[in-house]
Amino acid sequence: MKLIDGKRVSSQIRQEISLEVKKIVEEEEKPPHLAAILVGDDPASETYVNNKAKACKEIGFESSNYKLPGDVSQEELLETIDFINNDDEIDGVIVQLPLPDHIDEYKIIESIKPEKDVDGFHPINVGRMSIGLPAYISATPFGIIELLKRYEIETKGKNCVVLGRSNIVGRPISVLMNHNSEPGNSTVTVCHSRTENIKEITAKADILIVAIGKKEFVTADMVKQNAVVIDVGIHRVASVEKKSGFKLVGDVKFDEVSKKASYITPVPGGVGPMTITALLHNTLKARKKDIYK
């Protein structure tokens, strides 16, 4: 079994990005600038947004965090986005999800200028990605593709099974894995909550991508010998061994599945750090106007 080290690959890519930032600044141009909007005080979301700001700082990006209270009105959130959309100093913006129930997530996502939508959640970017036009590719799917690429994992002609059909991970990664590109060219099956005989399907996967949001859902009996296993899940479970009082586990039962897998991503240190790195990558693209000229 080989561990796919998302932390190591992340720092390598961040190094590459920081070199580009250095060049931009040397030419006396302004560095890329990411704005993140956080609504409410969910501790996991706070951690992710703080990690994003920290990552920006480390590679020389500007970043602005907008913290809005959990009871902020949809109107006020839309005004904040409108302000950022029109601020030429800001290259990219993300609204951390999930949002409180009283806010219409899709209304918010659609209000972001596609040119600044570095999360790649806007229907324009999703649509462009789907038909293979230049687009911001959302962070987690991009991170997965980059890990497969850098570990030189063959995907062409392979059976790829995706667990989960969310707009953020399952659906876009299934599209990317079946594109005529490398990585890509897989035969993709997407399983979800209504799928029958899930175990029979996952047991045929050469590449198993798990984004189902259920703690330690995938067990060894569901996995083919020597499969490549990508675990997107991240759950906090109480732990007396940790100072924080919790530890992180994924959607995959790591201890038993890792014995069967040829490659596997750990949680933490697998897909998570890549998600943040992908966001930095997209923000650099936004700054250079690579996608929308």
Active-site residue list: 52, 96, 119
Task: Please pick, from the candidates 3, 24, 68, 97, the single residue that binds ligand L34 as defined by CB under 6 A.
Answer: 97
Q: How far is the CB of 70 from ligand L34 (least distance, A)?
A: 16
- Interface positions, 221-240, toward ligand L34 (CB under 6 A): 234
- Residues 6 or more apart whose Cβ sits within 8 Å of residue 75: none
208 with 242: CB under 8 angstroms?
no
| Smallest distance, ligand L34 to C-beta of residue 249, A | 11
Q: Could you say which of 60, 100, 213, 269 contacts ligand L34 (CB under 6 A)?
A: 269
Choose one: 13-21, 72-80, 188-196, 272-280; the region binding ligand L34 (CB under 6 A): 272-280
Site for ligand L34 in 120-139 (CB under 6 A): 139
Give the SS3 label for residue 52: helix
Nearest-angstrom CA–CA distance, 227 and 215: 20
Question: Tokens 């993140």 identify what position?
Answer: 36
Among 80, 174, 275, 277, binds ligand L34 (CB under 6 A): 275
213 lines the binding site for ligand L34 (CB under 6 A): no
Tell me which amino acid residue 42 is.
D
The DSSP secondary structure of 60-128, one letter per residue, reads T-EEEEEEE-TT--HHHHHHHHHHHHT-TT--EEEE-SPPPTTS-HHHHHHHS-GGG-TT--SHHHHHH
142 binds ligand L34 (CB under 6 A): no
CA distance 155 to 246: 35
Shortest distance, position 169 Cβ to ligand L34, whole Å? 8
Among residues 10, 63, 96, 282, the one that binds ligand L34 under rule CB under 6 A: 96
Helix, strand, coil distribution of the chain in percent, nearest 5? 40, 15, 40
Among 1, 15, 41, 47, binds ligand L34 (CB under 6 A): 47
d(CA 149, CA 278): 14
Q: Is residue 219 at the binding interface for ligand L34, with CB under 6 A as the rule?
A: no
Task: State the residue number with the nearest CB to ligand L34.
Answer: 272
- Binding residues for ligand L34, rule: CB under 6 A, are 47-48, 51, 94-97, 119, 139, 234, 248, 267-269, 272-273, 275-276
